[in-house]
Amino acid sequence: MESGHESFAASSNVSNECSSPQEPGPSVDHLSNLCGSLEKLLFNPEYNYSDTEIVVEGIDVGVNRCILAARSQFFHEKFKEQNENSLKNEKPKYLLKDLVRVASIGYEVFMVLLNYLYTGKIKSSPSEVSSCVDNACAHDACRPAINYAVELMYASSTFQIKELVMVVEMNSVCHMYSLRLEINILLELGYQRYLDKFVDKATPEDVIPILLVAFHCKSNQLLEHCIQRVAQSDLDNATLEKELPHEVLTDIKSRRLKSRQGTEQESLEEDSLSEKRIRRILKALESDDIELLTLLLEESNVTLNDACALHYAAAYCNSKVVNEVLELGLGADVNLQNSRGYNVLHVAARRKEPSIIMGLLAKGASVLDTTRDGHTALSICRRLTRLKDYNDPPEQGKVTNKDRLCIDVLEREMIRNPMIGSMSSSSLVLADELLMRLLLFENRGNYVKLC
């Protein structure tokens, strides 16, 4: 096995296909040389003989249609269609976002996929997109690591590379646990126990993207495990309704109801009535209807705190609505913990919306409060942010990326808190500069670009 790669060609299945008793297959050296030669077509400018381009995140990637068409039925069908550039005798150009409409596929994932199509090898996970900013994180279940694996599995399924979907399910987990096992050994051991560890280790919120890709790719075993984990979690119904497909949501609700069969009917009816009132409050928030929200609160004995309405608004509603509710002073406690032990600032940190975070801090949200597993809003934000996004240098005339801005705002608040030890003064200066820039965009009416 070559350093930095894990070859699918190493599996016993592929070996059996490539050789027979009558005709011995090519040696490992010959296969390695062939892979290296094909790899030049992708990464060596001297061998740029591409006949088409695919634009990924604004970057033109040259590809050879014959290789992609031979390796992927998706590309075979796509390249048979007429391209407007082909009619002009120009090199055909495709936008990846037009080829893949359900979810986005990033540049790094696309290059890993291309490398597999050209060479049969899976490159190691690029740390800049599969690792988070938190130095204390093992990167075995943080959101960038999960998103990278999910994205690669989705791309493999979309481009109809069936054997890679299976390899990704196994291989991505191996990378995350710093294991370097040959694919044929994994096939013998079975990959389910690795996936079990992966799904069980992630937070319930972070299981949802795994569930969605399993649902889309029809990976039933993985889907079942994800559904079990979410059904047994304390994620509320309002969150699940926003995140999950209807049939999965119905399945989870059914499982939860069965687990409550021993509960008295009267208690269930009271919960049902309360849920209806809470649902109306949340709908008013989502509709940006503050007048209706105020009316519902006056007519009902359910408060914003009872509904954890500010948590919901911080997660899903327009930032202006959140700040308007804060300004009206409708009795919402910004430091109230929901059933998962998250306060509103924790939820806002997961969303990574600077104006909501700033509004909560201005109203007294505690930057020191921790979740049940010991995370502050700052550590949550760091574990959601890719190295690539945090280290992306600001460009003149462009809005600073929200990931970096949220972290700097929270760091600034931590520095100002007398209970926190001294931190770098340069970080404080940078955070203040970013806040001034944010306010400048708001004053000019350009802040909408951040939303």
The domains of the chain, with CATH numbers, are 5-202 (3.30.710.10), 299-444 (1.25.40.20)
| Percent of the chain topping pLDDT 90 | 45
Write out the two tokens for 178: 């710093």
Write out the two tokens for 55: 């634009």
Number of helices and strands in the chain (H, E):
26, 5
Please give the pLDDT value at position 26.
61
Using an 8 Å Cβ cutoff, are 18 and 68 in contact?
Answer: no
Positions of the chain with pLDDT under 50: 1-20, 170-194, 265-266, 269, 421-432, 439-440, 442-451
Strand partners, 386: 132
**Complete edge-to-edge strand list for the sheet that includes strand 52-56:** 59-63, 52-56, 93-95
Predicted TM-score (pTM) of the model is 0.79
Listed residue (304, 257, 251) closest to 281, CA to CA = 304
Listed residue (69, 100, 67, 95) closest to 83, CA to CA = 95
CA dihedral 275, 278, 279, 281 (to 10 degrees): 170
Burial class (CB in 10 A: 0-12, 13-18, 19+), 113: buried
Distance separating alpha carbons of residues 211 and 365, to the nearest angstrom: 32
Listed residue (432, 414, 433, 431) closest to 423, CA to CA = 414
- Tokens 């290059």 locate to 111
Please give the pLDDT value at position 419.
61
Please give the pLDDT value at position 390.
92
Indicate the DSSP class of residue 425. Answer: H
CA dihedral 349, 352, 354, 358 (to 10 degrees): -10
Please give the pLDDT value at position 406.
93
| Angle at 366 (CA atoms; ends 363, 368), nearest 5 degrees | 160
Please give the pLDDT value at position 85.
63
